[in-house]
Amino acid sequence: MTAVRFAKYHGTGNDFVMVEDLDDHLDLTAGLVAALCDRRRGIGADGLIRIVRAEGADFFMDYRNADGDLAEMCGNGIRCLAKLVYERGLTRATTIDVATRAGVKHLEMAVSDGEVLTVTVDMGPPVLERAAIPMTGPERERFVGQPLDVGGETFTATAVSMGNPHCVIFLDTPDRLAAMDVPTVGAAIEHLPQFPNRTNVEFVVVDAEGRIRVRVWERGSGLTLACGTGACAALVACVLAGKTDRRAELRFPGGDLDLTWRESDDHVLMTGPAVRVFEGELDPGWVAAAAHGAAAAGVRR
């Protein structure tokens, strides 16, 4: 097995292993992805993105969660993909279409002196019907501003799909948000039987300045510093609850994102940065062992 090149990027603290595989040669097993994302024995990341050429789009984003499971979409990760393909010269266009498991997304890059500073992603319209999220219950009914019982406590919640499922939990104050046991409560909500494909979970509060503050538990990745699709879900839920306007700044522990939910076409637009951290080469022996689930070490940076 030949050595595999990779890059490490992050978007507002949501970090990814990026693998360029334009001709679709690599076979990434769930075990290998989990090993690469392991923060002690691998590179360490919230997920992995494999970049492939695509029919009907400029590129395909093959996104996997940190546990190796396939995922539909990643808002922070797709901005990292845009930065990588432009700065590596894989495209000279500053507007590109990227195919994902949640459909084709249109991206516009703000570029200065050859560097991608921010990326705006048209994340498409939110989906609120239970069947499409998916969430159990009457198929065409919405779960908006409804009580959700978790571990003996009742929260007010809204379920939204942005190509992947989200459950947005409303909290009263920033102090309550800071004190929330996100790993415990988030994991419990992720695995509720109401969400047959599990769910991402956002804990939100609108502060005195009108910003939406968010902490997030991601399905298959756990506690992360930010989530792009989660930011979109949080904005939609807050607008539906009358807590904010259709344009808002969302503040995550990992950084800020600017979002707009357009009334004209129902699409959510997300703007934020992407950062290249480092590149490296995986030891072929480590890759072979990790692909078969064996404990191994040997990442060369």
3-state SS of the chain is: CCCEEEEEEEECCEEEEEEECCCCCCCCCHHHHHHHHCCCCCCCCCEEEEEEECCCCCEEEEEEECCCCECCCCHHHHHHHHHHHHHCCCCCCCEEEEEECCEEEEEEEEEECCEEEEEEEECCCCECEHHHCCCCCCCCCECCCEEEEECCEEEEEEEEECCCEEEEEECCCHHHHHHCCHHHHHHHHHCCCCCCCCCEEEEEEECCCCCEEEEEEECCCEEECCCHHHHHHHHHHHHHCCCCCCEEEEEECCEEEEEEECCCCCCEEEEECCEEEEEEEECHHHHHHHHCCCCCCCEEC
Tell whether 152 and 249 lie within a shared domain.
yes
The pLDDT-based confidence of 6 (bands split at 50, 70, 90) is: very high
Residue 27 has pLDDT above 80, yes or no: yes
Tell whether 84 and 191 lie within a shared domain.
no
Q: What is the pLDDT of residues 279-288, one digit of tens each?
A: 999 888 888 7
Q: What is the pLDDT of residues 63-88, one digit of tens each?
A: 999 999 998 999 999 999 999 999 99
Tell whether 137 and 255 lie within a shared domain.
yes
The predicted pLDDT at position 300 comes to 38
Tell whether 188 and 282 lie within a shared domain.
no
Contacts of 264 (CB under 8 A, 6+ apart): none
Tell whether 135 and 191 lie within a shared domain.
yes
Tell whether 95 and 170 lie within a shared domain.
no
Tell whether 33 and 75 lie within a shared domain.
yes
Tell whether 281 and 168 lie within a shared domain.
no
Q: What is the pLDDT of residues 47-60, one digit of tens each?
A: 999 999 999 999 99
Active site residues: 74, 227
- Considering only CA atoms, which of 212, 237, 247 is closest in space to residue 155? 237
Tell whether 214 and 104 lie within a shared domain.
no
Domain with 42 in it: what CATH number? 3.10.310.10
- Considering only CA atoms, which of 186, 185, 212 is closest in space to residue 199? 186
Count other C-beta atoms under 10 Å from residue 117's C-beta. 12
Tell whether 89 and 165 lie within a shared domain.
no
Tell whether 245 and 140 lie within a shared domain.
yes
Count other C-beta atoms under 10 Å from residue 255's C-beta. 18
Residue 253 has pLDDT above 80, yes or no: yes
Structural domain containing residue 152: 130-266
- Considering only CA atoms, which of 196, 192, 190 is closest in space to residue 218? 190
**Overall number of domains in the chain:** 2
